[in-house]
Amino acid sequence: MIIAIVAPVLKSLCVVDTFDTLECLDDECYNCEMKILCVGDLKSLTFDCNFLRVYSLHKLPSLVDPSMNFVGTQFMGNNAVHQVFREFCDVNDLEVSSSVVEVLFRPEISSIMPNLLKVINLEVNKTYDGLDCSSLICLLSDMPNIESLVFSDTHWTFGVNLQILPTLPVRYLQRLESIELRCFYADEDENEIHVVEFLLKNARVLKKMTVISCSALYADPRKQLEVTKKVKKLLRLPRASDCSVIEFS
């Protein structure tokens, strides 16, 4: 079955489809393809779903603000999320959840993923605690022209392997000038420190890194002391860019 959405003058569309169960696959409404046709005026398109059904996008020449969030713990293994993402290849601004990064940017499928040559501004938000460092590398390697990188709610668990990653080839992050890490938690495992260290080592033309502390830290004097220690450590990290500055708030 095919369900078509035709909206020739729509400017913003959000698809919310968050059933986290296999039982709904027996429902005819989910065992179908949904076609979205928005000719001309669509600027913002958001997917907040687990892609249990197949989506196909048509005629989106004006899209400038796409966002993808993979919700749920069960990835169905179909090509739905890949098909949608391919329609986002020609945009300048892109927002994806960490779970989308995990699904799409894996070393074993990196060869079939399109290069996002036009993406200039990227924001990665969180839907669960964890983003494997190999997925991070695959993501950044497919965006050679990225200039701005934002991690929202950065309570990540990248893993110890991030500590031993070598410096990336020059073609990676060659235009990255701005990095922002929001909600710095000052975790004891120092995963956030390793993330910052990795980015500073590879962003060769970086001008500014902004680190924003989680608001909950201000209510705990012990945490404030820990943040102070982390800040001093961050400032001592080596940088590939001689003109970069790190700002804290």
Residue 226 has pLDDT above 80, yes or no: no
Task: Using a pLDDT cut of 90, give the percent of the chain over it.
Answer: 13
Residues 53 and 111 grouped into a single domain: no
**Tokens coding 206:** 């970086």
Residues 98 and 55 grouped into a single domain: no
What's residue 177's pLDDT? 97
Residues 169 and 52 grouped into a single domain: no
Residue-averaged pLDDT of the chain: 77
Longest dimension (CA), the chain: 59
Residues 102 and 211 grouped into a single domain: yes
In a domain, 80, yes or no: no
Identify the residue whose tokens are 């991690």. Answer: 151
Asked if 175 and 147 touch (Cβ cutoff 8 Å), the reply is: yes
Query: Cα(200)–Cα(240) distance, rounded to whole angstroms?
Result: 6
In a domain, 76, yes or no: no
Residue 121 or 170, more confident: 121
**In degrees rounded to 5, what are phi and psi of residue 214?**
-60, 135
Residues 143 and 24 grouped into a single domain: no
Residue that is last in its domain, among 20, 48, 64: 64
**Into how many domains does the chain fold?**
2
Asked if 175 and 213 touch (Cβ cutoff 8 Å), the reply is: no
Residue that is last in its domain, among 64, 97, 118: 64
Question: Residue 23: which domain range?
Answer: 1-64
What's residue 160's pLDDT? 45
Residues 121 and 222 grouped into a single domain: yes
In a domain, 70, yes or no: no
Q: What is the pLDDT of residues 183-195, one digit of tens each?
A: 777 776 677 788 8
In a domain, 174, yes or no: yes
Q: Indicate the angle between helix axes 221-235 and 191-202, nearest 10 degrees.
A: 20
Residues 119 and 221 grouped into a single domain: yes
What's residue 76's pLDDT? 47
Buried b (16+ CB within 10 A) or exposed e, 80-111: bbeebbebbbebebbbbbbbbbbbbbeeeebe
In a domain, 105, yes or no: yes
Q: What is the pLDDT of residues 155-175, one digit of tens each?
A: 565 544 555 666 777 778 899
In a domain, 152, yes or no: yes
Residues 141 and 221 grouped into a single domain: yes
Asked if 225 and 186 touch (Cβ cutoff 8 Å), the reply is: no
Residue that is last in its domain, among 47, 64, 81: 64
Residues 54 and 106 grouped into a single domain: no
Residues 227 and 129 grouped into a single domain: yes
Closest CA to 233 of 218, 215, 211: 211
Q: What is the pLDDT of residues 11-40, one digit of tens each?
A: 888 888 766 555 555 566 666 788 887 766
Residue 235 has pLDDT above 70, yes or no: yes
Q: How confident is the model at residue 73 (pLDDT cuts 50, 70, 90)?
A: very low
Residues 127 and 36 grouped into a single domain: no
What's residue 79's pLDDT? 67
